Amino acid sequence: EAPHGLTPALRCCPSPRKPRRRLQALLMAGNDVPPRRGKVLTVDTMNANVKKVEYAVRGPIVQRAVQIEKELKEGVKKPFNEVIKANIGDAHAMGQQPITFFRQVLALCSYPELLDDNKFPEDAKNRARRILKACGGSSIGAYSASQGIDCVRQDVSRYIEHRDGGIACDPDNIYLTTGASDGIVTILKLLTTGEGRTRTGVMISIPQYPLYSAALAELGAVQINYYLNEEKCWSLDIDELQRSLEAAREHCRPRVLCIINPGNPTGCAFHSFKKVLFEMGPKFSSTVELASFHSTSKCYMGECGFRGGYMEVINMDPEVKAQLTKLVSVRLCPPVPGQALMALVTNPPQPGEPSYAQFIAEKTATLNNLAQKAKMTEEILNTVPGIRCNPVQGAMYSFPRITLPERAIKDAKAKGQVPDMFYCMKLLEETGICLVPGSGFGQKEGTFHFRMTILPPTDKLQTMLRKLKEFHQQFTQQYS
């Protein structure tokens, strides 16, 4: 924090002028040529854990896609005239429309003079007034409490209670976060300890969303893979969970089971793990330490740029909870507009309120459109020999398995590329379609996949699937 625009370094000096001159004199010592110094920070001296971090969703394929877009703009001739980005779950970037009520309230919060404008419905104005009243100086430009705005945490806790059929949720257990990512990394940070065989091991599903592997690499924790069962619609297999746990005990201390639910990229139905714990009885519900996360980024909202999110922690040791509160306070607070949005997602217009009908109509239309595109993606992909796609459900991604000819695998290896990266790169160069290779999410040895979002508008998605089908057939022919 540097009030008045002064740099912290300058503020520390009682008399800024003299020390600065002395420092300059010292640096120039005797001649006008700047001294030759090696860099303090090089790839050899930087944090080694950071170098281990990989994040395929914005990896080499996406970097090449950005380059190709530039080339197209410069007039370079390609067999296509646009890049279709189906690599990232960014709904609005692909044309999904925001919910009017959410944006009305956010507009009112950002520019309160609009509260006098009769174009805005009364319920949107009431929500905005409530949020603004809870903000410092009645402005969403003010910092909030580090755990998040009280009334928003109350909305979140009521939402969770409703979701779980009445099981109590204490607002004190709610922490508002910067998207779900921030909460996930914070909790993993608390859990990471030890060295060698005592290092914290974290069990993650494979395929996984690469935030988890990236965070574990950065923190120096041990990634423990448990494989989802592709043959049974990517379901979780208890025997496989047991196998991976026992294998991990040989080289680390497994302390965390991470469940992505619904899976990314694999989908399937949502289950509230808190509710399940309560159904299992007090032996579990009053002892199992559970942290769960949600955000404004996906689903019918798709508001990932606002970075709204929350986490609920239950059965956490009070002293650890105090440490958690301290840790989040170092970063001051999550973005306040994101918090406001989280309040609206967890407390949307209710029956009888002026905005209710439009809210439901927009929400339903978006969800129906996603369901239709999910079905279409699955159906078209399954018509391609050599591509097999499980039902696309509960996620905005498909993760089909692709059969690659032996010669393609050999050629890829000769180029030092993993085979599905080779495939996706070729697809991008020849069709402009940008996908993420399955290897970025993890997959069983010897199997290959890609992840594709179902987010492009229906007509574009249809064109993309047709081009993908043609490409796969040509690729298979070329390498057979």
What backbone phi and psi angles, to 5 degrees, belong to 180?
A: -75, -30
- Among 201, 210, 302, 309, interactor with ligand PLP by CB under 6 A: 309
Give the nearest distance from C-beta 323 to ligand PLP in angstroms. Answer: 22
Q: Are 206 and 441 in contact (CB under 8 A)?
A: yes
- Among 159, 209, 399, 441, interactor with ligand PLP by CB under 6 A: 209
Q: Does 335 bind ligand PLP (CB under 6 A)?
A: no
**SS3 track for 120-168:** CCHHHHHHHHHHHHHCHHHCCCCCCCCCCCHHHHHHHHHHHHHHCCCCC
Choose the stretch contacting ligand PLP; rule: CB under 6 A; options: 76-84, 162-170, 176-184, 235-243: 176-184
Q: How far, rounded to the nearest angstrom, does the alpha carbon of residue 290 sit from its chain's CA centroid?
A: 20
Q: How far, rounded to the nearest angstrom, does the alpha carbon of residue 377 sit from its chain's CA centroid?
A: 22
Rounded to an integer, what distance in angstroms lies between the CA atom of residue 367 and that of residue 165? 23
Q: Does 267 bind ligand PLP (CB under 6 A)?
A: no
Rounded to an integer, what distance in angstroms lies between the CA atom of residue 39 and that of residue 20? 22
Choose the stretch contacting ligand PLP; rule: CB under 6 A; options: 15-23, 36-44, 177-185, 399-407: 177-185
DSSP bridge partners of 311: 175, 293
- Of 180 and 412, CB closest to ligand PLP: 180
- Of 180 and 455, CB closest to ligand PLP: 180
Q: Are 396 and 91 in contact (CB under 8 A)?
A: yes
- Among 59, 86, 89, 355, interactor with ligand PLP by CB under 6 A: 89
Q: Residues with Cβ < 8 Å from 403, sequence gap 6 or more?
A: 386, 387, 448, 476
- Of 125 and 307, CB closest to ligand PLP: 307
Give the nearest distance from C-beta 213 to ligand PLP in angstroms. Answer: 12
Q: Are 109 and 131 in contact (CB under 8 A)?
A: yes
Give the nearest distance from C-beta 177 to ligand PLP in angstroms. Answer: 8
What backbone phi and psi angles, to 5 degrees, belong to 458?
A: -50, -45
Q: Are 350 and 434 in contact (CB under 8 A)?
A: no
Give the nearest distance from C-beta 252 to ligand PLP in angstroms. Answer: 23
- Among 108, 211, 277, 402, interactor with ligand PLP by CB under 6 A: 211
- Of 120 and 441, CB closest to ligand PLP: 441
Q: Does 297 bind ligand PLP (CB under 6 A)?
A: yes
- Among 59, 179, 432, 438, interactor with ligand PLP by CB under 6 A: 179
Q: Does 131 bind ligand PLP (CB under 6 A)?
A: no
Q: Does 461 bind ligand PLP (CB under 6 A)?
A: no
Name the amino acid, one letter, at 470: E
Residue with the CB atom nearest ligand PLP in the bound state: 179
- Of 309 and 419, CB closest to ligand PLP: 309
- Could you list the residues that contact ligand PLP (CB under 6 A)? 89, 179-181, 209, 211, 260, 264, 295, 297, 304, 309
